[in-house]
Amino acid sequence: MPQMMPMYWLLLFLFMLMIMYMYISILYFSPLSLSTYIKFDSMKIKSMKKLNLKW
């Protein structure tokens, strides 16, 4: 097998860190009940839309 570039591994590592961070933050900020999770998610989407409008 050909050896992969170090840059590829670095990007993969950063990607994994981002996913872990998002997962932990979602678990931390939202209670276990699904309804509040959905509300939290929709709030996040709204705030993202607002940010997009500002840009």
Quick: pLDDT tens for 1-16: 456 678 888 899 999 9
Q: What share of the chain has pLDDT > 70, as a percent?
A: 42
Contacts of 40 (CB under 8 A, 6+ apart): 26, 29, 30
What are the pLDDT digits (tens) for 8-42? 888 999 999 999 998 888 777 655 555 555 666 66
* Orientation of helix 6-29 relative to helix 34-54, angle to 10°: 120
Retrieve residue 55's tokens. 């840009």
